[in-house]
Copies of this chain bind each other. A is one copy, B any other.
């Protein structure tokens, strides 16, 4: 899932020791905090280090660059989401179309909603720093998972499956982002989740070929 463009985006040293591990975690956590409180604009290495309670030097001992920090953070987050969705798809493989739909939607939404603040911060990071590759890779995984899932539904065949998958993922991911980045995230989320389930059921119902 990694393919750095220039210069390493990999952590500089493996956090073998406990202390180090904690430091790395603190730095990543601080990055999110700063992103959240001060915005991507003010996300400076000094602020990150400060919030993490370490010096800039220490920060650079673990991350080769500011960009790499975001890269790591986003990579991890996307991986978590993709994994959760893949897992759900595997579990629901062979069930009914409606069950598949629900599984996919709730897995994705719940993954993003688990920590909406973090999700929001990383949405910011993603569009500020070019992370196209990371995002594309993650979406590739989602497409594959969704494709396999629909293919395996035990009570349906999907017409025009490629377009369906593409559009389905788009509205699930895009809709979710819309909510999370929006003004009143938390309160509205449960209702949206509920509606999104309906939307997807309704949609897939229309593109199925009953068997």
**A148 interface hit (Cβ, 8 Å):** no
**Least Cβ–Cβ distance between A170 and chain B, in angstroms:** 4
Closest to A127 in B: B127
**A74 interface hit (Cβ, 8 Å):** no
- Write out, one digit per residue, whether chain A residues 144-177 have a CB within 8 A of any chain B CB (1) or not (0): 0000000000000000000110110111011111
**Least Cβ–Cβ distance between A197 and chain B, in angstroms:** 10
Residue among B41, B130, B196 making CB contact with A129, cutoff 8 Å: B41
Give bound CA distance, A178 to B180, whole Å.
14
Q: What does DSSP make chain A's interface, helix, strand, loop or mixed?
A: helix
**A60 interface hit (Cβ, 8 Å):** no
- Write out, one digit per residue, whether chain A residues 122-140 have a CB within 8 A of any chain B CB (1) or not (0): 0110011110100010010
Q: Which of A123, A128, A175, A179 has the most CB of B within 10 A?
A: A175
**A110 interface hit (Cβ, 8 Å):** no
Which residues of B are found within 8 Å of A201, using beta-carbon distances?
Answer: 206
Docked-complex contact B166 and A191, CB < 8 angstroms? yes
Which residues of B are found within 8 Å of A178, using beta-carbon distances?
Answer: 169-171, 173-174, 177
Given contacts A163-B195, A167-B195, A198-B206, 10 further A-B contacts (CB under 8 A): A41-B128, A41-B129, A41-B130, A163-B192, A171-B171, A171-B175, A171-B199, A174-B174, A174-B176, A199-B203
In order of increasing CB-CB distance, the 10 nearest A-B pairs are A174-B174, A174-B178, A167-B195, A202-B202, A171-B175, A174-B175, A171-B171, A127-B127, A170-B178, A199-B203
15 A-B contact pairs sorted by A residue (CB < 8 Å) = A41-B128, A41-B130, A128-B128, A163-B194, A166-B188, A166-B192, A166-B195, A167-B199, A169-B178, A170-B175, A170-B178, A170-B192, A171-B196, A175-B175, A195-B203
